[in-house]
Amino acid sequence: MSIKTILEQLPPYASDISKSIKEIFLQDSNTLAKYQTFGITLTVGYALKHEWLLNYIRPEAKRYLDSNEANACKIAASTMSMTNTYYNFSKKINDEEIRKMSSLLSLENLNSHNIDEKDFSMYCLAASIINGCEYCINIHIKKLREQGCSPETIRDIGRIVSVIKAAGDVLEIERMRSYEFMVREENL
Per the annotation, the verdict on 136 as an active-site residue is yes
Check 73, 124, 133, 149 and give the catalytic one: 133
At residue 35's C-alpha, the angle toward residues 79 and 23, to 5°, is: 105
Q: Are 61 and 38 in contact (CB under 8 A)?
A: yes
Q: Where are the alpha helices (DSSP H) in 93-186?
A: 96-100, 117-131, 134-146, 151-175
CA gap 160, 166 in Å, rounded: 10
Check 73, 124, 136, 149 and give the catalytic one: 136
The dihedral over CA atoms of 48, 40, 170, 134, expressed in degrees to the nearest 10, equals: 60
For residue 180, CA distances in Å to 86, 140, 160 come to 42, 44, 32
Q: How long is the chain? A: 188
Burial class for 98, CB neighbours closer than 10 Å (0-12, 13-18, 19+): exposed
* One-letter amino acid of 39: G
The catalytic site residues sit at 133, 136
